[in-house]
Each structure stands twice: as structure tokens, then as C-alpha cells.
Amino acid sequence: MVQKRNALGRGLDALLSMDEVQTEGSSSINEIELSKIAVNPNQPRREFDQTALQELADSIAEIGIIQPITLRKLSDDEYQIIAGERRFRASQMAGLTSIPAYIRTADDENVMEMALIENIQREDLNSVEIALAYQHLLEQYGLTQERLSERIGKKRTTIANYLRLLKLPAPVQMGLQNKQIDMGHARALVTLGDPKLQVKIFEEILEQGYSVRKVEEIVKSLSEGEAVKSGGRKIAPKRAKLPEEFNMLKQQLSSFFSTKVQLTCSEKGKGKISIPFSNEEELERIIGILDTLKK
């Protein structure tokens, strides 16, 4: 298998009629020994599907590398991966000793940007990995969301939505990364803004198998100050502290109806008034009071 791969490498050199071909002035393509290649510590991808990796390795063993990986030259005997770590790992599994690669001259400041841009286009990064890579670029290299939008061909709102995922509690981020929930669930949870509630709803999604639409409905109710029932539990939103004039109104209503009236209000100004009753007689009394107000 290794002999077949080396033969392909020599065929590539013969086809190009030179050992090293300049592609863009700052890049070249060549056959590089795997032992000289190191992974990029800032690589956005953190996990690799082992089944998919084995399938790629089998394909490489049979037909070779279709698309060269991209490397940064550190020295004559050392290269760092900019894009293509998955192909690199699969080539190792396939028993290859070398791999075709584009060699780029890149500053440290550009390596992460190049890795992100190339991998987003070519690899199936999960949402959290993408968000972390975006954040790394924005913070470490001083890029704006507008500049990043131009570089990767994504709308600025798309980038902003990914970055908002990093505001979620760690258990929710892990669930998103492990594909227990999808991007739609996560985006709905972000709007809650209360970490405890976000974790509670996340747990309900896992237990009840809620759809994105169902989670959006639950979040909407909680955002409006309403409690929701899920399975056998009741989930109540964090109560906003009522302004003094609201407390006075609550007391006046309680006195008027001779019962403990409940008044709730969300941070957005939405809320409700509840008039409790303990039996039918008390309900009739309250209705009687309401009827007198109509006259």
C-alpha cells in the first residue's frame, strides 16, 4: 500500500515536471513525510468521528489522497497543519509514509485564521467548535465581526448567533457538541438569559425529547413570566422584582377582593394578575364583585 502511494507521489512530480511548484508565490505543493508533520494546537476541530475516520483511511488506502492538505513550513524537517488534520490522521491509519501537501508561508498571526477559514469550508465542525474558533479570531487577532464575515463569506448575524452559544451553561454547550440537542434548541435557550432555567429546560429536552418548536413555546412562556409544566414538574421563571407602585397595586387588589391577589411581571414588562379562590362559594363572591363593576 505504501509503495502504491509513493508511486502516486512520483507520478505527481512527473506530471508537474518539477519537484516543487509555486502556486501563489507564497505557496507550493510537494510530497511531505508524515513523520515531519505536527498538528496545529489551535486547530478548531477537537473531536473526530472514528468510524468516519476509518472509512476515509480505507478510501485513502485504495485510491490515495484526492485533495492535498495545507501545511505551514516551520523548518526543513518540520511542518504544521493549517488544514487537513482529518486527512493526515486517516493517512497514518492507512499506513502511508508521505502525503501531498500545499506548503504555505504564513505568520503565526495568520495560521489560525487560515485554519478556521479552510476547515469551515471543508470539515464538519460542530457548532461549539465553530463558535470557539470565531471567538479566538476576534479576541486574539483583533478582527471585527464584519471583517470575519468578509473573510469566511458568512453573514455577520450568523457569526453573532454562533458566538451567543458560548453564553450558554457548560452542560448545554456539551449537549450541543455531543449532538444531544441541535442549533435550534440552543438558540432558543440563549434567549432565556437565566443559566438555571437554561439547564432545567435542557434536561427536559433530553427527558421528553422536545422539538425545537416546543422549546421555543416553553421559552416564550417563561420569558413572559408564566410557569410551564413539563412531564411531572413545574418550571417557574425567575421573578422580576416588582416596582413599588406595582406592589401597592397588588395590595389594593388583594384588599378589594379580600383574597391574596398575585401580580407578576417579567423584565420586558409583561405579566398577569391572578385572583385565587379556595371553593365555589368564594368564586361566586369574586364573580359578584366583578359583576358590580359592570354597572
Task: Give CA–CA dist 119/116, Å, rounded.
Answer: 5
**Over the range 241-250, which residues count as b (16 or more CB within 10 Å of their CB) and which as e?**
eeeeeeeeeb
**Same domain flag for 138 and 119:** yes
Ordered per-residue pLDDT tens for the chain, 295 residues: 433 333 333 333 332 322 333 333 344 568 889 999 998 776 666 677 888 889 989 988 887 776 788 888 888 889 988 888 889 999 999 999 998 887 876 555 566 566 666 666 555 677 887 887 788 778 767 778 898 888 777 889 988 999 999 888 888 888 888 889 999 999 999 988 788 889 899 999 999 999 999 999 999 888 877 778 887 788 877 655 566 777 788 888 888 888 888 777 666 666 778 888 888 888 888 888 888 876 5
Question: Are 78 and 119 in a shared domain?
Answer: no
Considering the domain architecture, whether residues 50 and 31 belong to the same structural domain is answered as yes
Catalytic positions are 85
Q: Alpha-carbon distance 86 to 69, whole Å? A: 9
Residue after which a domain boundary falls, among 72, 106, 140:
106
Domain around 56:
25-106
The answer to whether 208 and 194 are in contact (CB under 8 A) is: no
- Count of structural domains within the chain: 4
CA distance 217 to 201: 12
Q: What angle do CA 214, 220, 226 make, to 5 degrees?
A: 110
With respect to residue 222, please indicate whether it lies within any of the assigned structural domains.
Answer: yes
Q: Residues with Cβ < 8 Å from 259, sequence gap 6 or more? A: 275, 276, 277, 282, 286
